[in-house]
Chains A and B, each alone.
Chain A
Amino acid sequence: MFKAIENQDLIVVVDTMPMEMTGYADVVLPESTYLERHDYSRAGKNRVPQIAFRMPAVEAKYDSKPAWWMAKELGHRLGLEKYYPWKDLEEVLDWQFKQVGSSLEEMKKIGVKTFPSTEPIYLLPGEDYEFNTNTGKIELYSTDFAEKGYDAMPKFTRHDSPDPGFYHLVYGRAPMHTFGRTQNNPYLFDLYETNNVWINPRTAKLWGIENDSDLWLKNQDGVISEFSAKARLTERIRPDSIYMVHGFGHTNKHLSRAKGRGINDIPLITKIKIDPIMGGTGMRNNFVTFLLEEPSKEEIIASANYKAEKPKEKAASKKKSEKKSEATKGHKQESHKKEEAKS
């Protein structure tokens, strides 16, 4: 990937945060966050059809701008003014809202407007209906797949199994963070400042890993995680798998808090499976093993072609408020003791 990046003539990055990618950009166009800008309205054709207005809650900080502004300004400079015959997004939204019998003024007051459903959303009992398939029916056996030479009935294919000492790498989310872009927010950082490696206590025992042991991960292709994370022993994960919250292990130094915190799952995902029919990608088929000793910087960089000039930084352990700081402040984990007393 680094090679691909270095081969570009020009890289322009539009982002709300100084992410990894912005470090490679020739030009960075800082975008205001969703709370600081107007956006196109959300239209939902749900059970209750509705439109929702999105307006700034606070003024944009620094010289960040909304994406519509960047597009318009670029358009003007490229001599494409005629495609932007409006002053700002409010004008566009007002016109759009008027097409459905509302207005910017009204939407500013009510935020969300609902409309009556024009067509029934459920089938009535016994009602005739043709689905968009060859037979017009719900096809458990897909005649379309059969025609194109694929399995017409889903056939079970066994997933790969890890070698001894390796575990399925499972990643997901924490409710307080959104992808990789909120880790540097002071409040959210305070709540959940790093990810942990969830390990089943039985697996941990084999390795002599305890709660809060520092560890690095190495995948089936030898890629080592750039930073470490602490172990979290929990029954919420199977003994043959480990789990991590995605979005950590940032390397951009401008992410003053988040940089160097936790393990990034992305470099450890070197094997990607592609669904032969619809092209979907499966990335939870990678395996990792634990490194209990800190690997050398050179070893880490060589393992994955990480950017060498990014020095490895040890997460400074900042002790916070006495008791509420276990794994994450304000989020005490698994107080078995407390529970047992009660239930």
Chain B
Amino acid sequence: MILQTLYQQCLKNNVTFYDEFQVVDLLMVNGAAAGVVAIELATGELHVFHAKAVIFATGGHGRIWEITSNAYAFTGDGPAVVMRRGLPLEDMEFFQFHPTGIYKLGILITEGVRGEGGVLLNGKGERFMEKYAPKVKDLASRDVTSRAIYMEIRDGNGVNGQNYVYLDVRPESVNKYAAIDGRKNLDGTPYTVTGEQILAKLPDIVDFCRVYLGVDPITQPMPIQPTAHYAMGGIPTNKYGEVIADEKNTAVPGLYAAGECACVSVHGANRLGTNSLLDLVVFGKHAGLRAAEFVKEAAFQPLPADPAEFARARFDRIRTADGKENAFDIAVTMKKVMFDDMGIFRSGKGMENALKVVRELQDRYKHVRPTDTGEVFNMELMNIWELGNLLDLAEVTTVSALARTESRGGHSREDYPDRDDKNWLKHSLAWAHEDGKIELKYKPVGITRFEPKVRTY
């Protein structure tokens, strides 16, 4: 609804859309934004947009992982492009795994299901969240619930020994556990639901299950597993949406970012449900307001002699590679190792393996060439370009995660299970240098009204 309304209001206000133009480079001159380079998919032509201000709002990068709720378009183009231009990315190690994705497909089953009284059951039919969060049980936060599911599966308690558990929202189950929990309606009567009420409240979920699983959630439990969902990290910004260039919070004139591609860090290491939309409505507005103010005063930066050169060189390299390697294979391998070793639980050893594999894949990537040599809608070329972004982001994510020797929110280490505020209450900033090295720096966490506390559920 937000997306529709935004689009419709833009139409009403005659906003110019460049549909199916994909941004592939950011132009920076004198340390300030000067525009972007975009490829027009319909013609393959590179276009230069000379601008006083640029706002990135390109979304997340969940396509790094094998099981994800994210669209194919979530390839982290914004962060990857910005990073290639020498700017840092913040808190990339913090990535959220949503506990309830449809088994194998990763399609999101909203936590509204548990809000309505749905419960998680393991292969033995046990309501296992009682063990992990005795007080709030199935309503524990996403990271806690995802880890619990992971541990159940690892301990052999998945359903039929497989990598999934059940999410059960059948009215008889909901009513049984609501009675056990003593859940009440607002007027004090015991909480109960009927099949019709479930259907009315969760129409999309019922539809997903029927279409993709052939399961009717009113009469059967749903097979689910955790799914890569949301990037807490991204392009660092301040609260005005201005992109910042270093650990001293120096703003880049004319450059803004908002939404999932940005890291204004209202979510810290761990976003709570529904807060992404709040984030992008609030900070998207502020980024827009700031940019509008900025362009009133600012002059255009001069364009370089050949503004599209950097982007063109990258595409030329792809088009003229020797073609020994298959992009799809590389993508599958990346997704698998990132899910296994850089997923819900991490360890030094696993992450080192992930880093090694990702770097090998980056080498193999240099040998990928599209078989499609055309200009018109060359989606193969674009997919390969996007894979380059995913690999680069997988690398910074892993390097940032390896350095952080503690567990916090979306970053859980088996070898460092505790949060370590003494050493790690800080944001990481990662720079990718031209020689291929990744440099990490840190900046303090701003603490205002609420002191960080130990979580107990």
Partners in one complex: no
A residues near B, CB below 8 A? none
B residues near A, CB below 8 A? none
